[in-house]
A = this chain, B = another copy of it.
Amino acid sequence: MYSYQTLFDFTQSVFEKIGISKDEARQAADVLMRAELRNISTHGLMRIPEYINLWKNRRITVTPQYKVVHETPSTALVDGGKGLGLVTAPKAMRLAIAKAKDAGTGWVAVRNSYHYGIAGYYAMMALEEDMIGISMTNANPLVAPTFGLNGMLGTNPIAMAVPTDKQPPFVADFATAPIARGKLDILEEQGKNAPEGLLQDELGNPTSKAGILKEKGSLLTLGGDTNHGGHKGFCMTAIVDILSAVLPGANFGPTVVPTLGYVKDKTGGEDKGIGHFFGAIRIDAFQTAEEFKSYMDEWISTFRNAKTIPGQEKVIIPGDPERISEKDKMENGIEVSRQTLSKLKLLAEELGVSPLA
């Protein structure tokens, strides 16, 4: 068990060591640590070696030229200059928020970026400004389109954070694919199968083998087959790909240059990075902020107090479990897996930073 501050300082020191400025290293650490606090450890410290590999392979630079390529009153196109998404994305979201102050809403699309951590971090930045925050990104191609044989789309998450008055905010942060690849990794390690109806092998046959992505298999879309609405899941994941990657001119769908060793690079083309799409909506651009927030409180309490099916205690409001976890881990410390610890120890030695005790 480690304190928040210990893990934060370690993470910051790693990023500083590879040449990222102090402020930006702190920013990147803040995103990863927020994932740890929110119990989304698949997007926390265990990602550090992956980021460092991107730097070693010269896929990212530690001194990127962040550039606003084009703008209108409510929009901007940002070129991340091949920086870490963890550093570029907060700037882009701040720009969306600034645009919203003047124009009512702000929308920023980013190209030439890399993995940005949890989508929810950026959506939540809007909350203190009394804005709805929206964040999405494309990613490694692992999801097969409906009737498709191969992984061509990322697990493409969407996050939306909504301000409230007395209730805690609504924070949805979810992959548009039915299961995260991190969860499949864990099932595989435990020798367990994935649930039926989520995966197919390289021939297109249904499988529940958790490690199938490493054997050219792919994830199905949310919903599964067309009888269960899988084509709607395809639409959702495609929409995220179009807004995050086609709109800014990043690599889309199967042309994303993979950061996972087991995903074959099918691109052969230019690496314009992955892309993100951020939105900020001033709630008082519609009703007054007071009216909106009290009405949103009502929405939350209506669903929170809904009748449940047998065996379930309550309807979970998006963001509730993560908020409870944040409080708990900030007070009581954060557990880091043995596997992640040993990887971080090696990394610390290699880079020459103080290891975690």
Interface on A for B, CB 8 Å cutoff? Answer: 70-75, 77, 102-105, 107, 109, 132, 144-150, 152, 158, 160, 162, 170, 172, 174-179, 195, 197-198, 200, 203-204, 222-224, 227-229, 231-236, 238-239, 241-243, 246-249, 252-255, 281-283, 285-287, 291-292, 295-296, 299, 302-303, 306-310, 312-316, 318
Contact: A306 with B149, CB < 8 Å? Answer: yes
Contact: B235 with A172, CB < 8 Å? Answer: yes
Given A145-B315, A147-B316 in contact, is the A104-B72 Cβ separation under 8 Å? yes
Q: Can you list 14 contacts pairing A with B, beta carbon distance less than 8 Å?
A: A73-B102, A103-B104, A105-B105, A145-B303, A162-B242, A172-B235, A176-B232, A200-B309, A222-B229, A223-B223, A242-B299, A246-B292, A249-B286, A252-B302
Interface-central residue, A73, A144, A231, A243, by most chain B CB under 10 Å: A73
Since A103-B104, A147-B309, A160-B242 are in contact, a sample of 6 more A-B pairs with Cβ atoms closer than 8 Å, ordered by chain A residue number, is: A147-B308, A148-B307, A149-B309, A179-B229, A198-B229, A231-B316
Contact: A248 with B195, CB < 8 Å? Answer: no
Q: Given B204, B236, B252, B306, which contacts A309 in the complex, CB threshold below 8 Å?
A: B204
Q: Given B103, B150, B295, which contacts A246 in the complex, CB threshold below 8 Å?
A: B295
Contact: A306 with B152, CB < 8 Å? Answer: yes
Chain B residue, CB-CB nearest to A247: B286
- Tell me which residues across on chain B come within 8 A of A307, comparing CB atoms: 148-150
Interface-central residue, A109, A176, A224, A253, by most chain B CB under 10 Å: A224
Given A249-B287, A303-B145 in contact, is the A310-B73 Cβ separation under 8 Å? no
Minimum C-beta distance from A71 to chain B (A): 8
- Tell me which residues across on chain B come within 8 A of A227, comparing CB atoms: 195
